[in-house]
């Protein structure tokens, strides 16, 4: 039957949704991070807005009153890998939505080279081929804590866990050909210089 609690929206829409600059910036982020729709982007923007509003409210409080709450906020953001270790409250106000999008599981799978594109990273996650440690995660928007970042890999029961899988061979061939073409172009230019 499910939980009777009313489901609430987890995002706020832009105040001026039809402005050209807003549409173009959203479209760019959707393509760059392989988001499914604008609701995903708005959810992360709302999350960032909440972090920043907490930081602004803490700046207005007396030092002894804000110390504990400031430490909690900074620890949370450092645990998620959004802020560096020596961050202060002003760094929270400098955060952008890209800082949060970089911590998504989908982005990290692509950055680690487990997928050929950001869209394939999303597909591998939703199909259950990606695990964090031994735990299979099927949510592309999962924000990966810093300590879990190094244990992202293919799920042990996935066919992709086999290094001989054709998909992994193709990904390896793409990286090898890219490096050899870069090296080849430099050797060709040096040979041309010798011929002159």
* Rounded CA separation 181/143 (Å): 35
Which of these ranges, 41-50, 69-78, 83-92, 177-186, has the smallest mean pLDDT? Answer: 177-186
Same structural domain, 67 and 138 = no
Q: How far is the C-alpha of 26 from the C-alpha of 135, rounded, in Å? A: 32
* CA separation, residue 82 to residues 21, 53, 88, 109, 170 (Å): 26, 16, 12, 17, 32
166 assigned to some structural domain: yes
Among the candidates 70, 102, 134, a domain finishes at: 102
In a domain, 71, yes or no: yes
CA distance 36 to 45: 15
Averaged pLDDT score across all residues of the chain: 87
- Same-domain pairing of 18 and 93: yes
Q: Is residue 181 part of a domain?
A: no
Same domain for 72 and 156, yes or no, is: no
Q: Is 196 within a domain?
A: no
CATH number at residue 120: 3.10.290.10
Between 12 and 184, where is the model more confident? 12
Contact status, residue 105 vs residue 130, Cβ threshold 8 Å:
yes
What mean pLDDT is predicted for residues 31-51?
96
| Residue 129: inside a domain | yes
CA distances from residue 79 to 41, 64, 146, 194 in whole angstroms, order as listed? 22, 24, 6, 54
For residue 90, the enclosing domain spans 9-102
Q: What is the pLDDT of residues 101-145, one digit of tens each?
A: 999 999 999 999 999 999 999 999 999 999 999 999 999 999 999
Helices 63-79/38-59 angle, 10° precision: 150
Q: What is the pTM of this model?
A: 0.81
CA–CA gap between residue 110 and residue 143 (Å, rounded):
14
Of 102, 126, 149, the residue that ends a domain is: 102
The answer to whether residues 108 and 57 belong to one domain is no
Is 58 in the same domain as 124?
no
Judge if 46 and 22 occupy the same domain.
yes
Tokens of 120: 């394939």
Give how many domains the chain has, as a whole number: 2
Are residues 187 and 158 in contact, defined by beta-carbon separation less than 8 angstroms?
Answer: no
CA distance 130 to 2: 28
Segment 73-87, tens digit of pLDDT: 999 999 999 999 999
């Amino acid at each position: 039957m499910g939980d009777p609690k009313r489901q609430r929206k987890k995002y706020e829409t832009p105040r001026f949704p039809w402005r050209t600059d807003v549409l173009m910036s959203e479209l760019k982020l959707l393509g760059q991070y392989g988001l499914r729709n604008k609701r995903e982007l708005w959810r992360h923007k709302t999350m960032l807005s909440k972090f920043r509003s907490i930081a602004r409210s803490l700046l207005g409080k007396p030092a002894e009153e804000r110390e504990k709450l400031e430490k909690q906020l900074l620890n949370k953001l450092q645990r998620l890998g959004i802020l560096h270790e020596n961050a202060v409250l002003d760094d929270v106000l400098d955060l952008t939505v890209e800082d949060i999008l970089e911590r998504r599981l989908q982005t990290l799978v692509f950055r680690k080279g487990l997928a050929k594109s950001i869209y394939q990273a999303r597909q591998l996650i939703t199909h259950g081929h990606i695990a964090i440690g031994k735990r299979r995660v099927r949510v592309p928007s999962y924000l990966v804590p810093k300590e879990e970042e190094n244990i992202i890999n293919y799920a042990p029961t996935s066919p992709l866990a086999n290094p001989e899988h054709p998909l992994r061979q193709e990904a390896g061939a793409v990286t090898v050909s890219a490096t050899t073409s870069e090296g080849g172009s430099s050797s060709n230019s040096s040979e041309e210089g010798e011929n002159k």
